[in-house]
């Protein structure tokens, strides 16, 4: 009888020990959010100098980025608490996180003086929030969609910066590569989370593949700046940005 009880206990506890939690992995999520923040830093910190010698967008998105990251942290905490069965506390954290995201977008959309600045900073901070919500989802079936939408909004922010502000070519190209890196790292975090679970040791793969994507981007940026410097093409900067985004995304897709 004791032998059967022991075998039954071992059988019953084994699934609990090997429980598969299909949420995005943490290393990829962190890399995706950092890349998204780099997008905003690049498009808002390198504008043309005004009379005081600072860029027109300098300092504007700092409060928004801070609120956005706090909101994402609230969503991460809400997801973790809800997985442990604390629905009420998780709901409160969800409201706090969502409030932080909304406040971030509102702060950046109203803090800048010109409409163009509001559009660029608002889209950038919204992209950071969406990517963060995607890699810290309350519902795993929406994770990939949120990451993709967030990366698309970040791309729109870069294009708007190229069209409406005096941001230089190099920061814009770097921002576009960072948007692709955010998408790639976020999608990989979602995919690995579904395949092996959030508790698996995935950081070597994620760091390596994200570094490879960034490397592709550096090569393409260097080539783009070289071609633009030689003056052999009349393609406008925004066109080069979109071509760069497509080229890096294609390289990433082929490597995957």
pLDDT for 185 beyond 90: yes
Distance in angstroms (rounded) separating the CA atoms of residues 126 and 132:
10
Domain residue ranges of the chain, discontinuous segments joined by +: 25-47+57-255
pLDDT for 47 beyond 50: no
Distance of CA 118 to the CA centre of its chain: 20
Please report the pLDDT score of residue 232 as a whole number.
Answer: 57
Please report the pLDDT score of residue 7 as a whole number.
Answer: 46
Please report the pLDDT score of residue 18 as a whole number.
Answer: 47
pLDDT for 9 beyond 60: no
Distance in angstroms (rounded) separating the CA atoms of residues 96 and 84:
18
The predicted-structure confidence for 50-97, as pLDDT tens digits, reads as follows 434 444 444 546 677 777 778 778 777 877 777 777 778 877 887 887
Please tell me which residue, 129 or 72, carries the higher pLDDT value. Answer: 129
DSSP string of 166-228?
---HHHHHHHHHHHHHHHHHHHHHHHHHHHH-TTS--HHHHHHHHHHHHHHHHHHHHHHHHHH
**Do 186 and 150 form a contact (C-beta atoms < 8 A)?**
yes
The CA-atom distances, in angstroms, between 58 and each of 21, 117, 142, 167 are 41, 10, 34, 11
Size of the chain, expressed as the number of residues it contains: 256
Please report the pLDDT score of residue 111 as a whole number.
Answer: 64
> For all residues of the chain together, what is the average pLDDT?
76
| Mean pLDDT within 94-105 | 77
Range in 38-52, 145-159, 230-244 with the lowest mean pLDDT: 38-52
């Amino acid at each position: 009888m004791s032998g059967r009880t022991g075998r039954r206990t071992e059988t019953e506890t084994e699934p609990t020990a090997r429980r598969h939690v299909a949420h995005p992995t943490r290393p990829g999520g962190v890399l995706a959010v950092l890349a998204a923040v780099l997008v905003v830093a690049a498009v808002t910190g390198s504008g043309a100098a005004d009379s005081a010698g600072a860029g027109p967008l300098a300092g504007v998105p700092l409060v928004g980025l801070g609120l956005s990251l706090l909101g994402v942290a609230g969503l991460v905490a809400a997801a973790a608490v809800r997985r442990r069965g604390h629905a009420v506390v998780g709901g409160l954290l969800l409201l706090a996180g969502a409030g932080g995201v909304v406040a971030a977008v509102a702060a950046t959309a109203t803090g800048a003086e010109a409409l163009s600045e509001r559009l660029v900073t608002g889209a950038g901070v919204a992209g950071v929030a969406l990517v963060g919500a995607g890699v810290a989802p309350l519902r795993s079936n929406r994770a990939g969609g949120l990451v993709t939408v967030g990366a698309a909004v970040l791309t729109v922010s870069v294009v708007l910066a190229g069209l409406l502000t005096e941001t230089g070519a190099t920061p814009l190209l770097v921002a576009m590569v960072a948007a692709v890196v955010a998408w790639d790292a976020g999608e990989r975090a979602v995919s690995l989370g579904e395949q092996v679970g959030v508790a698996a040791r995935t950081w070597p793969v994620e760091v390596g593949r994200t570094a490879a994507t960034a490397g592709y981007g550096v090569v393409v940026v260097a080539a783009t700046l070289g071609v633009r410097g030689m003056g052999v093409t009349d393609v406008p900067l925004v066109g080069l940005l979109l071509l760069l985004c497509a080229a890096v995304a294609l390289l990433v897709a082929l490597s995957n």
